[in-house]
């Protein structure tokens, strides 16, 4: 195991974590402000990827595709909030889970109806394709480096938004006391729609960015959704900072666990057994991490409410 | 009064159907939603095309979506056997689902015709007289790839497959034929979409080639990321990573890649030509190998229906064993464990106009049987 391989894997883990953060940030924001569990967040990720693929195919421009992904997911998010979610705030979590699960089915089959069952094509733009050589002779795909930078920039932007703007003040107030900010004359309904659309746009952005290196297909959002839930549970539900730390922890654990556990087991098992047990253990690693965090800090790393 | 007429009509209907051979009811359990839907839809469309062309009114097909989940597939099989009273089951794409459904269905005396999954457990000790695989035993295409790797003089392959029965069969099959050394061997999560960590290991391993089995969306993700990583070792795969449904999503990253398949749209025989043309005319897209497997499965069933009554299990089984139908693969016959003995080709990914597709460049194995038939006693 060379140092170069190790650094490359850390970068991979970081990149994976940053993309998870984009998903988890929206999820945790929506839960924090509105107290809503939104299972359809993965569908918004898928909508972003499909919008990007369709627009990029029609115009030939990946950047236009990204804009379409942000806009498409935000519009879908706002519509869903206005039509369905709005009726769920007063209901308990079970009703919310049921309704948003129905939304997953509707979005998946609707997407299949429009785009068909076969995966769409979305490629990395020309100017970001191929590897670059980092100091120390590490070859790393430029696109993945860009993902890390974009993700960190979004994290910074979110932090500025929440700590320095009027909207941010309202969001923080909404997390603490919903009745009070309504009483202070803030249009809570509009705030909810804006927050929901913002969360949706982040998910759509993640879907489009990741879609370029993965497969743009129906159902692509659900595996990511599960990981995003793990992230916000680890980070503490409702905390953006927790989402960032949790996402990077999960990304690194998943990536490095997949490499080192089989290597570790090879020290005292034969290679093929070590590989199969190691990969099974590695897929459990993030859940073990989650359990450990919950034992030590039941509210998550940065969770306010227990 | 109405009741009497109805009863009379029912009695009449019964007497009419009693006069002919019994109709055959087929239950198709396949994946029609989620990431693996492209495969199931191709099998279904190929199967239904053959049914439509035959115009046989004694054949009724019930189709249900298993969502690629073993528990759903088991529920559907129970429902089809108990309430729909099907005679024949077919359609399952994924080996883990086949393992959950097939042994129970055949034990209840139903026939199962597999249009895709061919896990090794059902080809050897777990074989059953009522289980027929019309596609391949899982190892077959991988064995052909191993043979092709020898032909290319590859000495140090890196192997990659998902951790489920077909993934383990895949690497076993490749290693059975391949004579070079191994630079590494990784089992990934089923449904994994990010392969950065594996690609980094490939880069560091000093391999001279990569062999990977990643069907459906997994293969799309891997190939795109592999191209972008700057690792330029040659890759070989089975046809599952390069089927017609996913090539368009992979794009240029797949051009020139060699893959092994028992079927290709340019296999030169009249049945295949007619199949490719009619499939395109019916559905407006090129067929994949999955579609050809569905088509062949339906035609096998129709050939047996012409010879025997499905209620006479022994005669119907004998009719299936004869495999007296015109396959898109040319000559087709079953080995003693009801798995095909067939030629396996090497294909190359090319671009025809705007469409990415495959072209045969040679034959990897001739009249190839699977490795498990000797363990099967039935």
pLDDT tens for each residue of A21-57: 999 999 999 988 888 889 999 999 999 999 999 999 9
Q: Which residue of B has its CA nearest to A210?
A: B194
Contact assignment for A139 to B230 by CB distance below 8 Å: yes
Q: Specify the range with the lowest mean pLDDT, choosing from B145-154, B218-227, B292-301.
A: B218-227
Q: Which residue has the higher pLDDT, B152 or A118?
A: B152
Q: Which residue carries 């596609």 as its tokens?
A: B135
Residues A144, A137: Cα–Cα separation, whole Å:
17
Task: Please report the pLDDT score of residue A46 as a whole number.
Answer: 96
Q: pLDDT digit string (tens) for B87-142?
A: 999 999 999 999 999 999 999 999 999 999 999 999 999 999 999 999 999 999 99
Residue with tokens 């279904």: B44
Residue B220 is predicted with a pLDDT of 87
Q: Tell me what pLDDT residue A112 has.
A: 87
Identify all chain B residues contacting A279, using CB atoms and an 8 Å cutoff: 163, 186-189
CA distance B26 to chain A (A): 24
Q: Are the Cβ atoms of A139 and B217 closer than 8 angstroms?
A: no
Domain A3-296 CATH (choose: 1.10.357, 1.10.3470, 3.30.420, 3.40.1440): 1.10.3470
> What sign has the CA pseudo-torsion B350, B355, B356, B361?
negative
Query: How confident is the model at residue B164, as a pLDDT?
Result: 86
What pLDDT is attached to residue B21? 63
Instruction: Give chain B's domain count.
Output: 2
Q: Is the pLDDT of residue B32 over 60?
A: yes
Give chain A positions within 8 Å (CB) of B34: 108, 218-219
A140 vs A147: CA distance, rounded Å: 12
Question: Which pLDDT band, with edges at 50, 70 and 90, does B210 fall under?
Answer: very high
CB nearest to B38's CB, from A9, A117, A123: A117
Do B108 and B43 belong to one domain? yes
* Residue B323 region by backbone torsions, left for phi larger than 0, else alpha for psi between -120 and 50, else beta: left
B350 contacts B359 by C-beta, under 8 angstroms = yes
Highest-pLDDT range among A85-94, A118-127, B63-72: B63-72
Question: Pick from B34, B41, B249: which is nearest to A215 by CB?
Answer: B249
- Measured between beta carbons, which residues in chain B are less than 8 angstroms from residue A121? 248-251
Containing B188, the helix (H) or strand (E) segment is strand B181-188
- Quick one: pLDDT at residue B17? 41
Q: What percent of chain A has pLDDT over 90?
A: 55
Express each pLDDT in A220-243 by its tens digit.
998 899 999 999 999 998 888 999
- pTM summary value: 0.83
Residue with tokens 């979004």: A154
In this predicted structure, what is the pLDDT of residue B18?
A: 38
| Contact between residue B65 and residue B32 where contact means Cβ atoms under 8 Å apart | yes
pLDDT for res A114: 92
Q: What is the signed CA dihedral for A86, A91, A97, A100, rounded to 10 degrees? A: -20
* A305 has a pLDDT exceeding 60: no
The minimal CB distance from B229 to the residues A141, A216, A218 is found for: A141
- Please answer yes or no on whether A279 and B163 come within 8 Å at the CB atom: yes
Q: For residue B236, give the CATH number of its domain.
A: 3.40.50.2300
Question: A134: which strand partners?
Answer: A138
- Residues B71, B39, single domain; the answer is yes
Same-domain pairing of B112 and B169: no
* pLDDT the model gives residue A282: 82
Q: What is the per-residue pLDDT across A74-111, written as a single tens digit (0 to 9) for each? A: 999 999 999 999 898 888 889 999 999 999 999 998 99
Pair of tokens at residue B90: 């077919």
- Rounded CA-CA distance A210/A48 in Å is 10
Q: Where are the domains of chain A?
A: 3-296
Q: Residue B221: its chain A contacts at CB < 8 A?
A: 213-215
Residue B238 shares a structural domain with residue B303: no
- If asked whether residues B196 and B224 sit together in one domain, one would say yes
pLDDT digits (tens, 9 = 90+) for B244-258: 888 888 888 889 899
What pairs with residue B272 in β-bridges?
Answer: none
CA distances from residue A262 to A259, A276, A280 in whole angstroms, order as listed:
6, 8, 9
Reading phi first (left if > 0) and then psi (alpha if -120 to 50, else beta), residue B182 is in beta
Residue with tokens 């990741």: A210
Q: Provide the pLDDT for residue B72.
A: 95
Identify the closest residue of chain B to A57 by CA–CA distance.
B249
Residues B58 and B207 in one domain: no
Distance from CA of B220 to the nearest CA of A (A): 6
What is the reported pLDDT for A306? Answer: 42
Between A and B, how many CB-CB pairs are < 8 A?
A: 124
Q: Which residues pair with A129 in a beta bridge?
A: none
CB contact under 8 A, B201 and A129: no
Give strand pairing partners of B350: B357
Taking every pair of Cα atoms in chain B, the longest distance, rounded to a whole number of angstroms, is 84
Residue B24 burial (CB < 10 Å; 0-12/13-18/19+)? Answer: buried
Contact present, B276 and B31 (Cβ < 8 Å)? no
For residue range B146-170, list pLDDT tens digits in order. 999 999 999 999 999 998 888 989 9
The confidence band for A62, taking pLDDT boundaries of 50, 70 and 90, is very high
What's the pLDDT tens digit per position in A227-286?
999 999 999 988 889 999 999 999 999 999 888 888 888 888 887 778 778 878 888 899
Report the alpha-carbon distance of residue A104 to residue A44 in Å, rounded: 9
pLDDT at B294 over 90: yes
Mutation target to probe the B interface, by most B beta carbons within 10 A, among A12, A45, A112, A119 is: A119
Q: Are A117 and B218 in contact (CB under 8 A)?
A: no
Q: Is B57 exposed, middle or buried (0-12, 13-18, 19+ CB in 10 A)?
A: exposed
Do B93 and B162 reside in the same domain of the chain? no
Rounded-to-integer distance, Cα A74 and Cα A290, Å: 30
The sheet that has B131-133: what strands, in order across it? B59-65, B24-30, B88-90, B111-114, B131-133
Interchain pair B230, A119: CB under 8 A: no
Same domain assignment for residues B211 and B358: yes
pLDDT beyond 80 at B374: yes
What is the sign, positive or negative, of the torsion defined by CA atoms of B173, B178, B181, B184? negative
Q: Which residue of A has its CA nearest to B202?
A: A5
> Nearest C-alpha of chain A: how many angstroms from B66?
14
What pLDDT does residue B13 have? Answer: 46
Shortest distance between the Cα of A182 and any Cα of chain B, in A, equals 41
Rounded Cα gap, residues A89 and A96, in angstroms: 8
**In a shared domain, residues B196 and B182:** yes
- Residue A143's closest CA among B222, B252, B225? B225
Q: Model confidence over A129-169: pLDDT tens digits?
A: 888 888 888 889 999 999 999 999 999 999 999 889 999 98
The pLDDT-based confidence of A120 (bands split at 50, 70, 90) is confident
**Which of A121, A123, A275 is nearest residue B187 as measured by Cβ atoms?**
A275
pLDDT digits (tens, 9 = 90+) for B175-197: 999 999 999 888 888 888 889 88
Q: Is the pLDDT of residue B15 over 50?
A: no
Provide the pLDDT for residue B174: 95
Among B123, B90, B106, CA closest to B301 = B90
Domain that holds residue B328: 2-136+268-338
Is the pLDDT at B76 greater than 90? The verdict is yes
Q: Which residues of B touch A12 (CB under 8 A)?
A: 194, 196-197, 200
Closest CB to B189 among A217, A271, A283: A283
Q: Per the CB < 8 Å rule, is A131 touching B228?
A: yes
Average pLDDT along chain B = 90
Residue of A nearest to B41 (CA): A117
């Amino acid at each position: 195991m060379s140092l170069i391989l190790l650094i490359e894997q850390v970068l991979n883990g970081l990149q994976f974590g940053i993309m998870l953060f984009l998903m988890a940030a929206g999820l945790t924001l929506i839960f924090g402000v509105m107290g809503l569990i939104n299972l359809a967040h993965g569908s918004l990720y898928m909508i972003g990827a499909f919008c990007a693929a369709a627009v990029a195919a029609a115009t030939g421009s990946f950047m236009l595709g990204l804009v379409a992904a942000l806009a498409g997911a935000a519009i879908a998010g706002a519509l869903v909030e206005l039509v369905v979610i709005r009726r769920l705030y007063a209901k308990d979590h079970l009703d919310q889970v049921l309704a948003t699960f129905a939304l997953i089915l509707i979005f998946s089959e609707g997407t299949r109806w429009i785009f068909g069952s076969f995966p769409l094509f979305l490629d990395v733009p020309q100017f970001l394709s191929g590897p670059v050589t980092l100091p120390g002779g590490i070859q790393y795909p430029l696109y993945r480096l860009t993902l890390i930078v974009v993700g960190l920039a979004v994290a910074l932007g979110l932090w500025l938004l929440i700590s320095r703007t009027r909207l941010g003040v309202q969001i923080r107030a909404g997390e603490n006391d919903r009745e009070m900010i309504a009483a202070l004359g803030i249009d809570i309904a509009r705030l909810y729609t804006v927050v929901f659309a913002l969360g949706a746009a982040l998910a759509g952005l993640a879907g489009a960015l990741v879609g370029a290196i993965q497969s743009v297909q129906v159902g692509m959002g659900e595996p990511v959704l599960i990981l995003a839930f793990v992230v916000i549970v680890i980070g503490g539900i409702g905390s953006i900072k927790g989402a960032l730390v949790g996402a990077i922890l999960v990304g690194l654990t998943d990536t490095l666990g997949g490499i080192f556990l089989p290597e570790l087991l090879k020290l005292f098992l034969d290679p093929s057994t070590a590989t199969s047990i190691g990969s099974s253990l590695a897929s459990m690693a993030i859940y073990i991490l989650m359990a450990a965090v919950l034992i030590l800090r039941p509210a998550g790393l940065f969770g306010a409410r227990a | 009064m109405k009741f009497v007429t109805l009863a009379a009509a029912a009695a009449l209907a019964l007497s009419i159907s009693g006069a002919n051979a019994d109709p055959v009811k087929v239950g198709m359990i396949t994946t029609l939603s989620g990431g693996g839907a492209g495969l199931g839809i191709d099998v279904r469309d190929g199967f239904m095309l053959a049914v439509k062309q035959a115009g046989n009114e004694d054949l009724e097909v019930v189709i249900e979506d298993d969502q690629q989940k073993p528990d759903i597939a088991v529920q559907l099989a129970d429902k089809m056997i108990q309430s729909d009273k099907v005679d024949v089951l077919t359609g399952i794409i994924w080996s883990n689902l086949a393992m959950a459904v097939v042994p129970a269905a055949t034990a209840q005396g139903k026939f199962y015709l597999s249009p895709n999954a061919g896990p090794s457990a059902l080809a050897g000790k777990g074989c059953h007289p009522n289980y027929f695989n019309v596609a391949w035993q899982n190892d077959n295409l991988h064995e052909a790839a191993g043979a092709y790797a020898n032909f290319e003089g590859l000495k140090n392959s890196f192997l990659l497959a998902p951790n489920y029965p077909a993934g383990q069969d895949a690497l076993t099959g490749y290693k059975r034929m391949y004579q070079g050394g191994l630079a590494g061997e990784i089992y990934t999560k089923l449904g994994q979409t990010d392969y950065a960590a594996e690609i980094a290991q490939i880069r560091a391993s000093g391999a001279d080639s990569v062999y990977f089995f990643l069907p459906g969306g997994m293969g799309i993700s891997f190939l795109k990321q592999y191209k972008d990583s700057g690792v330029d070792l040659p890759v070989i795969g089975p046809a599952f990573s390069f089927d017609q449904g996913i090539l368009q999503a992979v794009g240029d990253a797949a051009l020139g890649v060699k893959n092994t398949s028992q079927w290709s749209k340019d296999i030169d025989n009249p049945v295949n030509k007619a199949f490719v043309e009619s499939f395109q005319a019916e559905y407006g897209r090129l067929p994949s190998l999955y579609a050809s497997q569905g088509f062949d499965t339906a035609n096998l069933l129709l050939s047996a229906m012409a010879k025997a009554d499905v209620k006479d299990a022994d005669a119907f089984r004998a009719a299936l064993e004869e495999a007296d139908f015109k396959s898109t693969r040319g000559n087709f016959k079953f080995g003693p464990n009801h798995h095909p003995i067939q030629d396996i080709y090497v294909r190359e990914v090319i671009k025809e106009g705007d469409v990415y597709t495959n072209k045969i460049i040679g034959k990897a194995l001739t009249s190839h049987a699977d490795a498990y038939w000797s363990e099967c006693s039935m």
